[in-house]
Amino acid sequence: MPTALDLAPLIPLIPFLGSSFIGILLLSFNRTMNRLSKPVAFVLITCASTSAILSYLLLAQEYTNEVTNTFSLGWPLSSTEIGLHLDFIIDKFSSIILSVISTAILLLMIFSHYYMKKRKGYVTFFVYISLLSASLLALPITTFARSRIDSLIA
């Protein structure tokens, strides 16, 4: 069973995928999607609450650990040595910040759902808020993204 640390990259990825899905549907079926405010709110608030739950689980796991967890994701490009590598550092401070940000974003989405109800541009606003939440959730754990050429370093 995966731990909360294994699922840490999913915290910013879930709102990004939800907003991308709704955004593609909005571009494809503009008139229909603008009438579906409740299903859009349900999908995006569910994505935000899933990220919040994962960040709370990560916070609980970090308070039982004594070490700082670091892991890296890499995507090599074809047969060359060039690739994009994302390094993540998960410590107590970053897990606290993730929990605070995810709680604030969840509250923002719930309050803006009731405030923006029956207004023009509701779906577009919610897609933008969800993209903002994905970028804010990625900030505390992503340390840097770099391009590496092994042949030039050696």
- The whole-number average pLDDT for the span 83-99 is 77
H runs (alpha helix) in the chain: 10-28, 30-34, 37-62, 92-116, 122-138, 150-153
**Is residue 80 assigned to a domain?**
no
**Is residue 29 assigned to a domain?**
yes
- Where does the pLDDT of residue 7 fall: very low under 50, low under 70, confident under 90, or very high at 90 and above? confident
What confidence score (pLDDT) does residue 101 get? 94
Residue 134 has pLDDT above 90, yes or no: yes
**Is residue 84 assigned to a domain?**
no
Q: 58: domain range?
A: 10-66+90-143
Tokens 């299903």 — which residue?
39
State the total domains in the chain: 1
**Is residue 2 assigned to a domain?**
no
Residue 58 has pLDDT above 80, yes or no: yes
DSSP state of 80: S
Higher-confidence residue of 21 and 146: namely 21
Q: Are 73 and 86 in contact (CB under 8 A)?
A: yes
**Is residue 115 assigned to a domain?**
yes
